């Protein structure tokens, strides 16, 4: 996907605390939440850059204070964070990508329903959810409908991440195409010749998720080569000193 020279995220937060985000200003309610240079790369085993290449990757944007404030204030995000992290780790999806997708899809509204019938945090349509085993209960004392299940954050996230992972695999690691398929269906992407379909909604959707993912994803830390030095005899036994590891991605407080 060709990157935008000016990667903008527009949005607003409604009276219920639900976020609405877009790569363009859709109406007067939308304010500029973030702006910066958006890289075009995305992490996946099938699309990693050649290690022998010497080109520097584009620097990610920093998370803007306004966008950070939305995520910090979202009580739903705090509640569903463990489900996001577990599903992201299990299916090898960056948690920042998952956070960007949910923010774009539902603004972290657990009971969101789109005008096309998509449900919950990751806005799964009933047919897609059924492919991943989320259906009405036919037996048991407590029978839950498919809608009730999709309003359960853990169920919704698990099914949604499995679907996203399958799309990434289907399109050989091309994340822009996987996101376009998530929005418009894999058939629409394939019919367009494995390109993003010429649907304004889908094109805006892909830009929005990618640009928010870029804003959320921290820069890679370059390791400083160690300088060889002559070892000095220790005066006594050295205590064990545990090293501190760098967390993966944006700390979700």
Instruction: Tell me which residues are annotated as active site.
Output: 105
The span from the CA of 123 to the CA of 129, in Å, is 10
The span from the CA of 48 to the CA of 45, in Å, is 6
Exposure of 160 by Cβ count < 10 A (0-12 exposed, 13-18 middle, 19+ buried)? buried
Longest dimension (CA), the chain: 72
Q: In what order do the strands lie in the sheet with 7-13?
A: 19-22, 7-13, 31-36
Please, are residues 121 and 102 in contact by the beta-carbon 8 Å criterion? yes
Please, are residues 77 and 68 in contact by the beta-carbon 8 Å criterion? no
Cα–Cα distances (Å) from 242 to 72, 223, 239, 251, in that order, read: 30, 18, 10, 21
- DSSP-derived letter for residue 10 is E
- Contacts with 20 (C-beta within 8 Å, 6 or more apart), sequence order: 11, 12, 13, 14, 29, 30, 107
């Amino acid at each position: 996907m060709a990157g935008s020279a000016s990667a903008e995220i527009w949005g607003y937060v409604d009276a219920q605390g639900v976020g609405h985000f877009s790569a363009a200003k859709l109406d007067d309610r939308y304010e500029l939440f973030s702006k910066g240079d958006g890289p075009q790369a995305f992490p996946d085993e099938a699309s990693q850059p050649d290690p022998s290449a010497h080109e520097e990757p584009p620097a990610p944007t920093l998370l803007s204070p306004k966008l950070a404030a939305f995520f910090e204030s979202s009580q739903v995000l705090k509640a569903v964070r463990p489900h996001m992290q577990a599903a992201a780790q299990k299916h090898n999806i960056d948690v920042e990508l998952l956070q960007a997708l949910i923010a774009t899809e539902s603004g972290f509204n657990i009971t969101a329903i789109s005008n096309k019938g998509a449900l919950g945090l990751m806005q799964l349509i009933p047919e897609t959810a059924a492919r991943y085993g989320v259906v009405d209960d036919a037996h048991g004392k407590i029978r839950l409908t498919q809608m009730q299940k999709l309003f359960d954050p853990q169920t919704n996230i698990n099914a949604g991440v499995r679907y996203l992972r399958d799309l990434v695999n289907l399109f050989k690691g091309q994340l822009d195409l996987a996101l376009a398929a998530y929005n418009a269906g894999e058939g629409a992407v394939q019919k367009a010749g494995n390109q993003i379909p010429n649907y304004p909604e889908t094109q805006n959707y892909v830009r929005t998720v990618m640009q928010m993912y870029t804003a959320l994803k921290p820069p890679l830390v370059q390791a400083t080569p160690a300088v060889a030095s002559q070892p000095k005899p220790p005066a006594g036994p050295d205590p064990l000193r545990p090293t501190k590891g760098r967390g993966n991605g944006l700390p979700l407080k």
